[in-house]
Amino acid sequence: MAERLSNTVALVTGASSGIGAATALSLAEEGAAVAVLGRRRNKLEELADQIRAKGGTAFVVAADITDQPQAAAAVESVVKELGRLDTVVNNAGTMGVGQAVDSPLEEWEKMLEINVRGLLYVTHAALPHLLRAAEDSPRKVADLVNISSTAGRVARPGTAVYNLTKFGVNGFSEALRQEVMAKRVRVSVVEPGTVDTELSSHLRDGIREAIERQVEGMELLRPEDIADTVAFIVTRDRRVAVNEVLVRAGEQTW
């Protein structure tokens, strides 16, 4: 196991699969004790077993972060179990695609609940612990990494509310960065392009097929590519703050 994050604790949301699972594995390989948070306990337990099999430390937290009391309790349980909190990766998210005129409101609400409120609830609960970690950690730095999207930079027809959530994440992250940077809590945004994950499987019939045709033949990013980016950010020396990273697939134009 690598030692760059030894004696630190990381929390990854949306860790049941995809980018979240890959990021949890990557941070564990760097030596962090990793709390994996999501709603699918069985998937989280499988991931935790993988981390432990490689000699790492993992703690499973099954919770719905769109419920503020659950989100706050989840963060507190991590600190109680693992003793501290040095790194938070807000990865949980969902995507809805379709023309605004005929999109179901339930789809919009779900994006707002997970992509915005869930991220805010976890961040609010975690910030005091991150500020404390930046003071007493041997590394003298703590990290909050928010997983955004190319949709936080480029607005396109059919993704209006998804754009709303991701542009919002980017704006929130930048303002928060300026608030806490003097206390050595680094706030970073990672903006993945097309990644081979479960995200598109949540799309409505017809729309899902259209998206699949759009990326047909394209070599998609892998979750590990984004996990590598997160690991790079949080393993930098405290003098280095990587504020924003845009990671597109090699053939992606948008």
Q: Give residue 1's pLDDT.
A: 44
Q: Give residue 108's pLDDT.
A: 97
The residues pairing with 33 across neighbouring beta strands, listed in sequence order, are 9
Which of 131-135, 141-145, 198-202 is the least confident region? Answer: 198-202
Exactly one of 89, 162, 221, 249 is catalytic; name it.
162
> Could you tell me which CATH number the domain at 9-247 has?
3.40.50.720
The question of whether 162 is a catalytic residue gets the answer yes
Token code pair at residue 205? 């019939």
Token code pair at residue 84? 């501290």
Which distant-in-sequence residues (6+ apart) come within 8 Å of 87 by Cβ?
5, 8, 9, 10, 11, 27, 32, 142, 143, 144, 145, 234
Which of 1-5, 102-106, 194-198 is the least confident region? Answer: 1-5
Geometric angle at alpha carbon 119, from 209 and 83, rounded to 5°: 125
Q: Give residue 209's pLDDT.
A: 62
Domain ranges of the chain: 9-247
Q: Please compute the mean of the pLDDT values over residues 128-137 and round it to a whole number.
A: 97
Q: Give residue 224's pLDDT.
A: 98
Q: Is the pLDDT of residue 243 over 90?
A: yes
Q: Give residue 218's pLDDT.
A: 83
Q: Which residue has the higher pLDDT, 214 or 244?
A: 244
Q: DSSP letter at 112?
A: I
Q: Give residue 197's pLDDT.
A: 72
Token code pair at residue 1? 């196991």
Gyration radius from the chain CA atoms: 17
133 close to 82: Cβ distance less than 8 angstroms: no
Tens of pLDDT, residues 161-170: 999 999 999 9
Averaging pLDDT over each range in 181-185, 199-203, 217-221, which range is the top one? 181-185
What are the φ/ψ torsions at residue 3 (nearest 5 degrees)?
Answer: -115, 0
Tens of pLDDT, residues 35-62: 999 999 999 999 999 999 999 999 999 9
Q: Give residue 150's pLDDT.
A: 97
**What is the band of 253 on the pLDDT scale with cuts at 50, 70, 90?**
confident
Tens of pLDDT, residues 64-92: 999 999 999 999 999 999 999 999 999 99
231 close to 27: Cβ distance less than 8 angstroms: yes
pTM for this model (two decimals): 0.93
**What is the band of 3 on the pLDDT scale with cuts at 50, 70, 90?**
confident
Nearest residue to 221 (alpha-carbon basis) of 114, 119, 149:
149
CA dihedral 73, 231, 238, 147 (to 10 degrees): -60
